Amino acid sequence: MIIHKFGGASLSTIDRIKQTGAIAAEIKEEQVLIVISAMGKTTNALEKVAEAFFNHHKEEALMLFTKIKEHHLTIAKYLLVQTYNETERQLADFFTEIEWLLHDEPVKGFDYYYDQIVCIGELLSSAIVSAYFREEGIPNTWIDVRDILRTDDKFREAAIDWEYSLGKVKNSLLPLLADSPLLITQGFIAATDENESTTLGREGSDYSAAVFANMLDAESVTIWKDVEGVLNADPREFPEATLIPALNYREVIEMAYYGAQVIHPKTIKPLQNKNIPMYVKCFLDPGLPG
Ligand code: ADP
Ligand code: ASP
Ligand code: MG
């Protein structure tokens, strides 16, 4: 069993989503779980919707949400042919959930609404990617991660209920692998015992991939980024940054805590606990060693 995670940057344009499909087509392992982030800067855009809603700017919230909706429908239209209609129905269900909420007045705390709204980014992107992969001859099963990963109700920074979630992984997720060796699910999001959506903290999809790796005793996790691998500095700030070919767990935790944004700090512990390697690879040039 191996885990692959595709981040926002790898799903930010139609060409990049196609490239993701090309990478997935080359994965030869028998059992694979793919964890998907929201496309590009969708999470930032959804944060604006949540803020407008909470500040009682209903029209603005609906207008901002409509833009996000149209963007995803346009991408789906470009990528999908045979499965467009069924995917559009799936997306429409997610849209309706949010639109219902936006028509209400806020009566709970901001963080609660944030999670109910922002979680849709990963649901939309994963549904489109799953359908696209099927059309490309990469059979897979789409999973709503909120049926598997349970958290407490500390919205926006929810903590995984490891015992319950592990039970779900064993009893619900593993049996699916027998019929569909490739599962596609969402990073960053989960749900409470009352089926309210939660999020695990910004940039939390790497962490979701690590949580699944731990629970599934995966052989490895590969996260696909827009950089060659882990470098000795952020190349956006220091263009001369160079690749670090390998790091131990302690070193990478240190880097993450001192602010290297390439890996979410919470990601390493679940991997270290089970001695699972993580590869950081470049989706722009998959041949690079990472
Ligand atoms: P995604 O959200 O698509 O998974 P991120 O944007 O979170 O990817 O992470 C990739 C970005 O992290 C790179 O574009 C790079 O600018 C930045 N980065 C910061 N520090 C480092 C580092 N030490 N090595 C590599 N990339 C880094
Ligand atoms: N989409 C979420 C974010 O942008 C989670 C992630 O990409 O890891 O923060
Ligand atoms: Mg990110």
Instruction: Calculate the alpha carbon distances from 106 to 52, 109, 110, 131, 186 in Å.
Output: 11, 8, 8, 34, 26
Query: Which pLDDT does position 179 carry in this prediction?
Result: 85
Q: In a mutational test of the pocket of ligand 2, which residue from 5, 188, 280 has the highest number of ligand atoms less than 8 Å from its CB?
A: 188
List pLDDT tens digits, range 148-192.
Answer: 999 999 999 999 999 999 999 999 999 999 888 999 999 999 999
pLDDT at position 265 over 90: no
Burial group, residue 217, by CB count within 10 angstroms (0-12, 13-18, 19+): exposed
Q: Name the pTM for this structure.
A: 0.97
% pLDDT > 70, the chain: 100
pLDDT at position 85 over 90: yes
DSSP one-letter code for 32: E
In this structure, the strands spanning 189-191 and 182-186 are unpaired
Average pLDDT, the chain: 96
Query: Which pLDDT does position 258 carry in this prediction?
Result: 84
Which range among 59-63, 75-79, 135-139, 251-255 shows the weakest confidence by mean pLDDT?
A: 251-255
Q: How far is the CA of 290 from the centre of ligand 1 (A)?
A: 13
Q: How far is the CA of 35 from the centre of ligand 1 (A)?
A: 17
230 Cβ closer than 6 Å to some ligand 1 atom: yes
Which residue's CA is minimally distant from atom 5 of ligand 2?
203
pLDDT at position 200 over 90: yes
List pLDDT tens digits, range 211-247.
Answer: 999 999 999 999 999 999 999 999 999 999 999 999 9
The count of other CB atoms within 10 Å of the CB of residue 208 is 29
Q: Nearest ligand to the C-alpha of residue 121?
A: 2
pLDDT at position 257 over 90: no
Ligand 2 atom showing the smallest separation from residue 208 Cα:
8
262 Cβ closer than 6 Å to some ligand 1 atom: yes
8 Cβ closer than 6 Å to some ligand 1 atom: yes
Q: In a mutational test of the pocket of ligand 2, which residue from 202, 262, 264 has the highest number of ligand atoms less than 8 Å from its CB?
A: 202
